[in-house]
Each structure stands twice: as C-alpha cells, then as structure tokens.
Structure 1
Amino acid sequence: MSAITVTLLMIITAYLAGSISSAILVCKIRGLPDPRTSGSGNPGATNVLRIGGVSSAVMVLFFDMLKGALPSYLGYKIGLDAASLGFIAVSACLGHIYPIFFGFKGGKGVATAFGAMAPIGGDLALCLILTWIVFVLLTRYSSVAAMATATLAPFYTWWLDERFILPVAMLSTLILIRHKDNIGRLRIGKETKMTRKKSIKKPKT
C-alpha cells in the first residue's frame, strides 16, 4: 500500500474519530442539557464546565484530546512525513468542528488540536498546558488562553523539535480561524468568562 493511500485512509479515520462528540455523549450519559443548546452553545469542555461541573468537563477534555492524539501518534509510528501528519491532525479537528454523526455542529477543536500536538513530546505538552493555565488565570477567558497557546505552539515546536513545525502551524492556524467570533466579542466586551457550574444550596429545614 502506497504512502498516499495510507495517508488518505488515516485522514478519513481521523475525521470519523473526531466526529465523535465527547461533549454531547458525556452530557447525555450524565443527564445534562445538550451543550449545543445550553450555555454558550459550543459542544466543548469549557461549555460543559459551565453546565455540568468539573468532572464532566474533565471527561470531555480527556476524550477530545485523545481523538486528536491517537491518529497523530499512529501516523507518526508508521513513518508518515510531517505534512501528512499535519493533514491527519487537521482532519481530526475538522471532524470535531463539523461532526458527521451530530449534524455537522461541533466545537472549536482546541482540545483535539492540542491533543494532536501532545505526542510530539512531553515537553511540548507541558508547555501547552502551562501556557493555557497561565492565560486562563490572568484573563479568565478560555478563548484568550486557547488563542495565546495556539500562537505560541509553533515557537515551542521550533525550540523543542523543529521537524513538526508544519503540522503544529496548521493546527494553530485552524484554532485561530475558529476563534474569529470570539475575537469580535472580546473587542466589544461581550465575551463570556470561564466559570463553572454553581452548586445549588438547599434551604435549611
């Protein structure tokens, strides 16, 4: 089987894996509102945090990252070149953004993109996580943290392992494009800050 055929099969597989919406499935299993019609309307970990709390959001984050990491890591292990790995990773993100199993209405692909970058190395994964956490703590905006991390990711990659600059740059560009609406809301002060579901206190009896 030729490298082109393998790459095409991997691209299709990555898209189908990306199309499995962790947010929708976790919310359905846990009896939570549909994230496409609740909160911000975005079926991703941040919105699930708002409507379902920390544990549900962590589950979504883990599975969203996993569906980006697995196709990229498999492509790397079978020896595909950097450009092919980039297309596979982007395909997984496009599956998350436009899921064929859920009416093509998906999330922004941030966790899936970062998951696809993570197999490059633990040092890169650590840089991405720390950058995201720092910007969330400084701004309280998940969108700002995601865009800042995406912007810095190619520079981290150049520093740590320049072989993968191309696929990382492809993923970072996709993340930034997906946040154009957030940029507009930030400019007019209408972007929602990152919060978690508040527990409802029962009245004393």
Structure 2
Amino acid sequence: MYASKPHQEHDLELLHRHMLETRLAVLVSQGPEGLQATHLPVLVKTDEGPFGTVYAHLARANPQWRAFAHDLEALLVFPGPDAYVSPGYYPSKANNPKVVPTWNYTAVHAHGPVEVIHQAAPLLAIVSELSERHERSRPVPWNVTDAPADYLEGMLRAIVGIRLPITRLQGARKLSQNRSAADLAGVRDALSASPDPLNNALAAQMRPL
C-alpha cells in the first residue's frame, strides 16, 4: 500500500484498534485465474505473533481457498472511513488559490500466509466467537447453540476456516497532516458538520496539529 511519509501509521496499538473496529475485511490472494477477493468478517487476535493473527471462514464452494499456498502471501484489507476534501475547506485558499481537491481516509493492510482449517472443533470456535462479537449488543443475543445440532453440523461442513499469521502490517491515515493547523481545523469542522456519517467518523479521527 502506498502512503506518503506524513500519512504512514506505524503505531501497532493504533493499527490493531483499527482492525478490531473493522466489521468487514477484504481477503485478496493469487489464484490460477488471477487475483481473487472475498469480503468477510474476521477475528483479530492481537496477542498471537509479533503483529497478530487473523481468523475467518469462507464458503467451501468459494474457489479462493483452494489456491492458498504457504509460500504465497495473501492480503487482508481493513478499510476505514473516508471523505472527499474540497479546497473550499481550507482557510488558506483565500490567500493562496493553488489548492486542489483530495481524499482523506484510513486503512490497514495485513499480509501473511493462509492456513486452511477443516476440523469441526476449530471451525465451531471461529463461528461462535464471531457470533458472540456481533450479537453482544443485542438485548437477547443469538448463540450458535440455539441452532439444532444436526443443522449446525451441516453448516460447518459447508465452510472452511482460515488462519493468517500477520508477517507484515501497513497503515495509512491520510488526515490532512500535511496542511497547516488552520487548514486541518477547516477540514475537520467541515466534515463534522456534514450530514454524511462517514464524513463525521473521519472528522472524529483527525488530530489537532
């Protein structure tokens, strides 16, 4: 992932927080017919390995997992909020019209080999933890044990699990750090006042200079 130096993020705690808050990641890998990609919810174990380990599952019918090889790297993309930045947000534009639009965003890319999991017990653990993560805010959370055992067994046979130990981690936080404090504040204020919730989410991440 390309990011100019002011927009590179190397703080591991911050990168992990971004990954943990991402609800849907994109798994990209090389297959016999070229690049393949799958959108999928993931579990991030920050205490496994130097950069963490990611667990997820794919449909067994998805051909992507059949091409995984330990000598090839796969990529997990963790997108964050993004926002169009108008030159009109910059107070400096009044004195210097040499400005153009840009785009602010945050993202994390995790690289590593993919191990395929077929065994029922670890598959059930992945599915259970994913369900618990996304059900915990409900008044009456659904649990995998609510499903009939034979039905659950059939569902587990229809998926494969994956484990990706992260060997390389890259982060980008393009949040107007290359602008003056006044321009950064102008962008933050404009995005905060926007009716678009993604703009608001990005503004909340912009740090004062």
Q: Same fold (TM over 0.5)?
A: no
**Structure with the larger strand share:** 2
TM-score by length of 2: 0.24
Q: Which has the higher contact order (CA 8 A, sep 6+)?
A: 2
**Structure with the larger helix share:** 1
